[in-house]
Amino acid sequence: MHPLFHLGDVTAHRIDDAEAERLQPLLERCEDFFRLCYGRPARADEARQLPLERPPGVTPEQGHLLALVDPTGAWVGLFEGLQDFPTRGEAYLGLLLLEPGTRGRGLGAGLLAGYEDWLRASGQQVLRVGVSEPNPAALRFWTREGFQAETWVGPLTQGELSYRVLRMRKTLTAPAATP
């Protein structure tokens, strides 16, 4: 399988929805994220549910799961998103998740730049994300990466918690700077 983009020795590979359950060990290693944003650890079927939780009317071709793979072949992160949603040329990133041992070293920002380039090459002009209110570190990250606030949505129920989500947007007009 040919990588879509990379940063150092971490590569991004598109995986089929049928392979989503292979992400389960990664999700379980990210218990801190699930406790913060869902009030509980990852469910036993969390990975298998990822492609099933897409909005109604989204075609399988619009959704994508990208596994982030280290040199040993371990899956150390993921991108889960949609293309041409809600309209043509607009993408939505539902989840960028890195296992705890890989965080804090600029990997997220570098891989996001590669992801943005990949989206641009497929005709996407706008990228949106939703930032959970109880996750101020995520808000700092997305703001630092050039995303601008659009609107607060909610409160929404996420797992055992209820909170607002800030929808943010970034225009993808120029190629991202390659680190």
What per-residue confidence (pLDDT) applies to 103? 92
The answer to whether 124 and 172 have CB atoms below 8 angstroms apart is yes
Mean pLDDT of 23-31: 97
What sign has the CA pseudo-torsion 157, 108, 20, 45? negative
What per-residue confidence (pLDDT) applies to 96? 98
Closest CA to 46 of 63, 19, 74, 23: 23
The full set of domain ranges for the chain reads: 5-171
Query: With left for phi above 0 and alpha for psi between -120 and 50, is residue 87 left, alpha or beta?
Result: beta
pTM for this structure? Answer: 0.93
3-state secondary structure at position 120: helix
Residue 46 buriedness (CB in 10 A; 0-12 / 13-18 / 19+):
buried
Say yes or no to pLDDT of 100 above 90: yes
What per-residue confidence (pLDDT) applies to 173? 80
Length of the chain: 179
Of the chain, the percentage scoring pLDDT greater than 70 comes to 96
Could you say which of 3.10.105.10, 3.40.630.30, 3.30.1330.10, 3.30.379.10 is the CATH number of the domain covering 5-171?
A: 3.40.630.30
**pLDDT tier at 60, thresholds 50, 70, 90:** confident
**pLDDT tier at 105, thresholds 50, 70, 90:** confident
